[in-house]
Structure 1
Amino acid sequence: MTRRQDRIVRALTQAFAPLELQVEDDSHRHHGHAGARPGGETHYSVRIVAEAFTGKSAVARHRLVNEALADEFKSGLHALAIDARSP
């Protein structure tokens, strides 16, 4: 795992105690696109299943994940594909 990937896992685990969590670095797929950097660690996909999302809309779930990762966005995370579900 990349350093940013470790931090994403840690932040989402602390925020949501997920039942399932997968974080993939997709930066290699975005080489040459907006926000891409030579070292990567800019584009990620997240699949998370947590009780915290129960009763929340998809938009609300995405907002919660983005809020939990606000520091990562401030430090170079450019794009995040989110699949957030309740159990």
Structure 2
Amino acid sequence: MNIKNSIETKLQSLQPQFLKVTNESHMHNVPKGSESHFKVTIVSDEFNGKLLLVRHRMINEILAEELAHSIHALVLHTMTSEEWFEKSGTPNHSPPCLGGSKSK
């Protein structure tokens, strides 16, 4: 199973109303076909009443294996159904890569 699929499968434990996992590795200085940089947009009522930090910790705990061995960068957009509705169901865009290990 590739890393993207693993992330999607594991995050189903949060019973998301919306889940989008995007491999953004191509936007960084990594070999073609890499799975090292991801963006996760997840809407779940499991986040109701929880601070952003707690939501991110929940995700980090679920994805502990991937974070320890495979994922270099993980962008998280965690929302409740109500927050998602207020944003009109529009995910945030990731900022451009600043180069990482590229030398100038």
Equivalent pair of 2:47/2:55 in contact (CA under 8 Å) = yes
Give the whole-Å Cα distance in 1 for the aligned partners of 2:54 and 2:25. Answer: 25
Q: 2:22 aligns with which of 17, 21, 24?
A: 24
> Structure 1: 5+ residue runs without aligned partners?
none
Residue by residue over 1:18-58, the C-alpha shift from the partner in whole angstroms, topping out at 9 and shown as x without a partner, is: 01000000001111xxxx45541000000000011000011
Q: 1:58 aligns with which of 52, 55, 75?
A: 52
The percentage of aligned residue pairs carrying the same residue is 35
Write the mapping of 1:33-72 to structure 2, written as runs, cut at 5 A.
36=30, 39-72=33-66
- TM-score (norm. length: structure 1): 0.86
Indicate whether 1:78 and 2:72 are aligned: yes
Instruction: Work out which structure has the larger RCO, using CA pairs closer than 8 Å and 6 or more positions apart in sequence.
Output: 1
Runs of 4+ that moved beyond 6 A:
none
Q: How far off its partner does 1:4 sit?
A: 0.6
Q: Which amino acid aligns with 1:24?
A: T
Instruction: Tell which structure's C-alpha radius of gyration is larger.
Output: 2
> Structure 2: 5+ residue runs without aligned partners?
82-104
Paired residues, what number? Answer: 81
- TM-score (norm. length: structure 2): 0.72
